[in-house]
């Protein structure tokens, strides 16, 4: 069995349609997959239809942006009911906020002499969401920057000229939406928030207090030491463990579908609860 419980389609900031994500996952040996687009469930049914054509089990998923103490954190919801009204109406708030934020980002870039609106609109799927990744790709297409990292470093990252604050729902609210939809809340890529040890413990404690049940222990870009720190937290707080590549696009070789590796034997995999 090979699990990948974190990846994106073109309904958020990935580049492939859901059916293509599923078939590439199959080609790469994945047998348990969750499509976890940012703040949208739009790709879930296409992914499920494609999974029926393959020897792959699909888990309904989503990656929800949340505010924790003024920082953006990501909560993956696994095994959610995509028809749940509380989850859907919560995500609609974030989708509306994304559209307003996008207008402000586009205006800020226009002040810098860059017009990305058409390029962004061309990338969007009907029913999909807009993200800063789309803006970054527009800046790359127009040769304003050379790559994604530079787009965030020079324009889109916090404190940069085209940065606009995001009004994400609170961490506890997001966990409630996931639980209301019958899902398991997973704290995504805990090591990517660049928190000190004490702050990370504080985040995990508040996540657990809110009803969070799992940590993403293995991701494609995590080193052995980071995995070890996550395992310690999982054991200390009696949590489940998840694994996911955070795949966005085949042109990012550091995060391929299924490249997230197995979970250490010392933790309980989140799929035992599915």
Residue 129, token pair as written in the block: 């969401």
What is the spatial distance between Cα 138 and Cα 122, in angstroms, rounded to a whole number? 10
The residue within the footprint of Mn ion, chosen from 4, 13, 37, 46 (CB under 5 A), is 13
Q: Does 13 bind ligand AMP (CB under 6 A)?
A: yes
Tokens of 4: 């990948």
Site string for ligand AMP, 60-89 (x = CB under 6 A): -----x------------------------
Q: Which does 116 bind (CB under 5 to 8 A by kind): ligand AMP, Mn ion, none?
A: none
CB of 166 to Mn ion, least distance (A): 13
- Pairing mode, if any, of strands 57-68 and 184-187? unpaired
Nearer to ligand AMP, 121 or 149 (CB): 149
User: Considering only CA atoms, which of 3, 69, 1 is closest in space to residue 36?
Assistant: 3
Q: How far apart are CA 48 and CA 118, in angstroms?
A: 31
Residue from 5, 210, 246, 270 binding Mn ion (CB under 5 A): 246
C-beta neighbour count of 90 within 10 angstroms: 21
| Dihedral angle over CA of 246, 251, 253, 258, nearest 10 | 40
Residue from 12, 39, 70 nearest 178 by CA: 39
Q: Strand runs (DSSP E) across 27-105, as ranges?
A: 32-35, 57-68, 71-78
Residue 37 engages ligand AMP in binding (rule: CB under 6 A): no
149 binds ligand AMP (CB under 6 A): yes
CB 101 to ligand AMP: min, Å: 8
CA 71 vs. chain centroid, Å, equals 15
What are the φ/ψ torsions at residue 121 (nearest 5 degrees)? -60, -35
Q: Which does 216 bind (CB under 5 to 8 A by kind): ligand AMP, Mn ion, none?
A: none
Site string for Mn ion, 37-76 (x = CB under 5 A): --------------------------x----------x--
Task: State in angstroms the smallest separation of the CB of 238 from ligand AMP.
Answer: 29
When asked if residue 4 is in the footprint of Mn ion (CB under 5 A), the reply is no
Question: What residues make contact with Mn ion under the rule CB under 5 A?
Answer: 13, 63, 74, 188, 246
Question: What residues make contact with ligand AMP under the rule CB under 6 A?
Answer: 13, 38, 65, 131-133, 148-149, 152, 166, 248
């Amino acid at each position: 069995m090979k699990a990948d419980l974190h990846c994106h389609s073109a309904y958020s900031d990935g580049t492939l349609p859901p059916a293509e994500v599923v078939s590439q996952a199959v080609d790469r040996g994945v047998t348990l997959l969750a499509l976890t687009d940012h703040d949208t469930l739009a790709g879930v049914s296409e992914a499920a239809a494609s999974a029926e054509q393959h020897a792959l089990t699909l888990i309904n998923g989503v990656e929800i942006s949340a505010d924790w103490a003024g920082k953006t954190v990501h909560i993956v919801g696994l095994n959610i009911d995509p028809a749940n009204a509380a989850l859907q109406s919560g995500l609609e708030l974030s989708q509306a906020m994304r559209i307003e934020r996008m207008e402000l980002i586009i205006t800020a870039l226009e002040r810098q002499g860059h017009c990305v609106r058409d390029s962004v609109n061309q990338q969007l799927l009907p029913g999909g969401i807009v993200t800063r990744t789309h803006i970054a790709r527009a800046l790359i297409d127009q040769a304003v920057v050379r790559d994604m990292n530079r787009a965030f470093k020079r324009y889109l990252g916090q404190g940069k000229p085209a940065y606009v604050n995001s009004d994400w729902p609170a961490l506890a609210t997001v966990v409630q939406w996931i639980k209301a939809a019958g899902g398991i809340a997973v704290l995504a890529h805990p090591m990517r928030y660049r928190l000190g040890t004490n702050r990370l413990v504080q985040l995990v404690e508040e996540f657990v207090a809110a009803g969070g049940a799992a940590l993403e222990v293995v991701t494609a870009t995590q080193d052995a030491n980071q995995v070890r720190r996550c395992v310690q937290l999982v054991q200390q707080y009696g949590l489940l463990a998840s694994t996911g590549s955070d795949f966005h696009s085949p042109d990012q070789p550091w995060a391929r579908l299924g490249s997230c590796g197995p979970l250490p034997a010392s933790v309980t995999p989140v799929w035992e609860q599915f």
